[in-house]
Chains A and B, each alone.
Chain A
Amino acid sequence: MNTESMSLQDFRGLLQQLGAGAPGQDISDEERLRRAKNMFMQKLNGHRAVDLDSCLQCGMCAEACHFYEATQNEKYAPVYKFRPLRRFYRREMSPLRWFYRPFTRDITIADLKEWQHLVYDACTGCGRCDMICPMGIKISASIRVMRHGLAAAGYVPPEMRVVRNEQRDQNTLFGVGTEQLKALVDKLGTQGINIPLDREQADVMLLTTAVEVLLFPDAFAASARILNQAGADWTIRSDAFEAANVGIITGDDQTMKIAVRRIVDKAKACGIKTVLMPESGHAYQMMRWDAATEMGGPLPFETLSMPEFISAEIKAGRLNLNAQSNGASVTYHDPCRLSRKGGVMQQPRDVLAALGLDVRETPANQRENYCCGGGCGEYVLESADDLRQKAFEIKRREFEETGADAVVTGCANCRINLMIGAENSGWQTPVTSLVETVAANLAD
């Protein structure tokens, strides 16, 4: 399958233009500070308090961070990335605030400006630091609260602000909405791929992302072919297909809830039993782990990632695969939000093994895997270009140690980032997707 799509080059051009369109923000410094503090107050809870009160300041987290490892810049120590939150906690919320207050500097507007770089450019929220902390502190959760505070204060970087506003106000991303999806479905229809668009009732609702529609239509087509061969009773809704959620990425709850509710409401209306997430790590985390809590109650459907779905279908004997026997080798890149933050680690390996591929592990893998370097929307930020490329070199080294013929991953964001990194450094090993790899081996 080779559906015509936007080239990586054109997509990179699109990203470079993004920031220029960012609307100005007329917020006074006092108001920004007030909003940031108010958000910190809202988001600090018992779990974060235990975390903030437990830190030994040992600095081991730096040793888990790809940005610190790549630059040896101590500012990128994860513990430092939530320093203003810790100061706020100590001054305003800690049980010993009366003691800490005279010794703890209040947060300032200069802090917020400085931390914009530290929590958007220099953190992908991958949570590798969470795995090294000897106290078990969820460092990435506190950094996420930092993003919330900065978002409330109007410090979302311009590129992210543009896409956030687009999703919130227009229900499109990168200009992809209902019409673009319908056009792709029509095109795939002419290639013989049947896509049951906009059915009123179905068991399974597939989601996709603007990035798939624009850049990776083959991944979307692959998902459809897999569902068709598995005989699933499925649909995709042109009015609720976008799985990506810029709200969760930027730390903006309003946008996050608008985007989640759109899908949840549609799934309820269509009697959906399973919402099937496309290859997007943060979207899976959102729908599988955060949505119920954010919506205020359990969801009436289950949420599955593609690797979980495919692995189950293979086990149930509903997918007919041509297992390869040519000894081709692959290495699987674990998207952080699918693996250590999502619990989906064995299934993609089972699927690749079922295809007869020689699956090789990078030295750090599964829950300890290195981030692609551009997760959590970081790949759209021009200001992070250098950092990202340096972090990519770590991934490249890891991949090269496996000697595998190709890199397979389960997240389009990881895939773009790895492809851009490879292109920049002239690295030739192909980076592909799990669903496309499976679809290429479906026996018709």
Chain B
Amino acid sequence: MTLLEFASGPGLQWALWIFVLGVVWRLVGALFLLSRKDLSKPRQYNSVAAGFGAIISRSAPAHAFEKRILFQHVTGYAWHFALFISVLFFAPHILFFESVLGFGWPHLPNTIIMVTAIIATAFLIALLVRRATHPVQRFISNADDYISIIVVLIPLVTGILAFAHFGARYETLLAIHLLSVETMLIWFPFGKLMHAVMTMPARYQAGTAFGRRGVKA
């Protein structure tokens, strides 16, 4: 079995299983820890509207905070946006998703993907540098914070190299790219990449908790 055969065969399968089971295990485990019911009389509110309202409202900082967190807010959005374009609209990726899901969707030209991938990489490196240098972020960070950035950074870099056929044989570059994605999938449920799954439940519960008190979350 070649490296590429392993990476695109059993390696990928195992990584996906660990990813799915790990995410479900952690999500269900946290959500099913019991909470005491709030018995106070709520103000007039609609809990579902308050919950979904918070999912939306927390996408942008409240006015009083805007200036203080502008850099993180903008780079955070730019980086995620560029990543999603690169992952979801690159023709070979869509072929892969089609093989797993059974359906595909239109792709973007390769040059655009190249640009978004480079933007995503640049922003992620900027965020990594900030984490290592900003007094608060450096102080509160632990291994997970760095591992989670690096396991996402490597697939980006190897993807760009594979696309550019730079540094090694294409098959080798592709195999390394796949293995790095698999590493990311395996790490996902164990570290803070889980935020991708936790964002909505966390914001929803904030929305209902504030909503019952008549406060916009």
**Residues of A participating in the B interface, judged by any CB pair closer than 8 Å:** 44-47, 49-51, 53-60, 62-64, 68, 72, 74-75, 77, 79-80, 83, 93-96, 99, 103, 130-138, 288-293, 296-299, 302, 339-343, 345, 363-365, 367-368
State whether A298 touches B39 (Cβ < 8 A). yes
Q: Could you list some 22 contacts between A and B, CB below 8 A?
A: A47-B209, A49-B30, A50-B30, A54-B195, A56-B192, A57-B137, A57-B142, A59-B137, A64-B68, A74-B135, A94-B26, A95-B29, A95-B30, A96-B22, A134-B59, A136-B54, A136-B202, A293-B37, A293-B38, A296-B39, A297-B39, A368-B62
Nearest 6 A-B pairs (CB), nearest first? A95-B29, A136-B206, A343-B214, A368-B64, A136-B203, A54-B202
Residues on the A chain within 8 Å of B145, using CB: 57
Residues on the B chain within 8 Å of A95, using CB: 25-26, 28-30
Determine if B74 is an interface residue (Cβ-Cβ < 8 Å).
no
Cα distance A297–B34 in the bound complex, in angstroms: 18
Residues on the A chain within 8 Å of B204, using CB: 136
| Min CB gap B152→A, angstroms | 13
Residues on the B chain within 8 Å of A290, using CB: 40
Selected from B134, B189, B202, B215, the residue in CB contact (under 8 A) with A51 is B202
Cα distance A131–B64 in the bound complex, in angstroms: 10
Please count the residue pairs between chain A and chain B whose beta carbons lie under 8 angstroms apart in the complex. 168
Cα distance A137–B54 in the bound complex, in angstroms: 11
Cα distance A94–B144 in the bound complex, in angstroms: 16
| Min CB gap A80→B, angstroms | 6
- Interface residue SS majority, chain B: helix
Residues on the B chain within 8 Å of A45, using CB: 33-36
State whether A135 touches B58 (Cβ < 8 A). yes
Knowing A99-B190, A132-B62, A290-B40, say if A46 contacts B35 (CB, 8 Å).
yes
Residues on the B chain within 8 Å of A51, using CB: 202
Selected from A62, A80, A94, the residue in CB contact (under 8 A) with B29 is A94
State whether A343 touches B215 (Cβ < 8 A). yes
Selected from A53, A64, A340, A343, the residue in CB contact (under 8 A) with B26 is A53
State whether B136 touches A135 (Cβ < 8 A). no
Cα distance A75–B34 in the bound complex, in angstroms: 31
Knowing A50-B201, A56-B195, A95-B25, say if A132 contacts B30 (CB, 8 Å).
no
A341, closest chain B residue (CB): B213
Q: Chain B: how many interface residues by the 8 Å CB criterion?
A: 63
State whether B34 touches A46 (Cβ < 8 A). yes
Selected from B35, B199, B207, B214, the residue in CB contact (under 8 A) with A47 is B35
Residues on the A chain within 8 Å of B40, using CB: 288-293
Knowing A80-B139, A298-B41, say if A293 contacts B36 (CB, 8 Å).
yes
| Min CB gap B164→A, angstroms | 31
Knowing A135-B195, A288-B40, say if A59 contacts B205 (CB, 8 Å).
no
Selected from B58, B61, B139, B144, the residue in CB contact (under 8 A) with A136 is B58
State whether A367 touches B206 (Cβ < 8 A). no
Residues on the B chain within 8 Å of A64, using CB: 65, 68
| Min CB gap A118→B, angstroms | 13
Knowing A45-B33, A368-B62, say if A77 contacts B139 (CB, 8 Å).
yes
A sample of 6 more A-B contacts (CB under 8 A), given A74-B138, A79-B140, A136-B217, is A46-B31, A53-B30, A58-B76, A103-B143, A291-B40, A340-B210
**Residues of B participating in the A interface, judged by any CB pair closer than 8 Å:** 22, 25-26, 28-41, 43, 54, 58-59, 61-65, 68-69, 72, 76, 134-145, 189-190, 192, 194-195, 198-199, 201-207, 209-210, 213-217
Selected from A58, A137, A292, A363, the residue in CB contact (under 8 A) with B64 is A363
State whether A50 touches B202 (Cβ < 8 A). yes
Residues on the B chain within 8 Å of A288, using CB: 40
Q: Which of A302, A343, A345 has the most CB of B within 10 A?
A: A343
State whether A72 touches B135 (Cβ < 8 A). yes
Residues on the B chain within 8 Å of A345, using CB: 215
Residues on the A chain within 8 Å of B59, using CB: 134
Q: Which of A60, A75, A77 has the most CB of B within 10 A?
A: A60
Selected from B137, B198, B203, B216, the residue in CB contact (under 8 A) with A53 is B198
Knowing A131-B62, A364-B64, say if A50 contacts B31 (CB, 8 Å).
yes
| Min CB gap A397→B, angstroms | 13
Selected from A58, A136, A368, the residue in CB contact (under 8 A) with B72 is A58
Cα distance A318–B180 in the bound complex, in angstroms: 72
| Min CB gap A111→B, angstroms | 15
Residues on the A chain within 8 Å of B72, using CB: 58, 60
Residues on the B chain within 8 Å of A132, using CB: 61-62, 65, 69
Cα distance A99–B186 in the bound complex, in angstroms: 13
